Amino acid sequence: MIRDLIRLSRMSLQRATAVLILTGMALSEAVAVAASPLTDRPGWAVHHTTKPYAQLVRDVITATKSQGLVVVTQAGPTKAAAARGITIPGNRVIGIFNNDYAVRVLRRSTAAMIEAPIRLYVTEEDNGDATLSYKTAIHVFAPYLAEGGPELADIAAELDQHLEAIAQKAVQPAP
């Protein structure tokens, strides 16, 4: 009988632990969903808009093409979360680059190529407005400048001009 009580206690303790872990996971997901909007931070450009999320994603892609760059990747958790029954604000990372920049970066620093493609980040705010954010190319390539020299800094500066042009075109209000 004592053994049965000990076994029952262990099972109850395991169940209680499992419930606490699952509750903690659920709360952490709720906290992640309620994260605050992006704000300015060192090395970042943050452009708040009144555009809806889906429109800003489309406008970023269009503006990227107009700058002679290519959308290489797109990733975001929004649809996968919805498939799991979790609603989160729109969230998309859009990777952009082109082969000319890839070749030029590789001539300066093999290690720096890990940073390609440059990523643009579109997020949806609670009120439905969307924000475009990205790390500047000079910030992204900073760890490789000693190796890549002034030529890599020049490439980063060129990319920053493209990124700013993409941002300005993408965030402008529709006519």
* pLDDT tens per residue, range 86-109: 999 999 999 999 999 999 999 999
Same domain membership, residue 158 and residue 94: yes
Query: How far apart, in whole angstroms, are the C-alpha atoms of residue 62 and residue 52?
Result: 15
Global pTM reads: 0.79
62 and 132 share one domain: yes
Residues 6+ positions from 119 with CB-CB distance below 8 Å: 93, 94, 95, 96, 134, 135
For 173, the 3-state DSSP assignment is coil
Q: Return the higher-pLDDT residue of 11 and 159.
A: 159
Domain count, the chain: 2
- Residue 32: pLDDT above 60? no
Residue 64 corresponds to which tokens in the numbers above? 């990227």
Residues 1 and 85 in one domain: no
Residues 91 and 30 in one domain: no
| H, E, C per residue of 46-107 | EEEEEEEHHHHHHHHHHHHHHCCCEEEEEECCHHHHHHCCCCCCCEEEEEEECHHHHHHHHH
Give the tens place of pLDDT for each residue, 40-86.
899 999 999 999 999 999 999 999 999 999 999 999 999 999 999 99
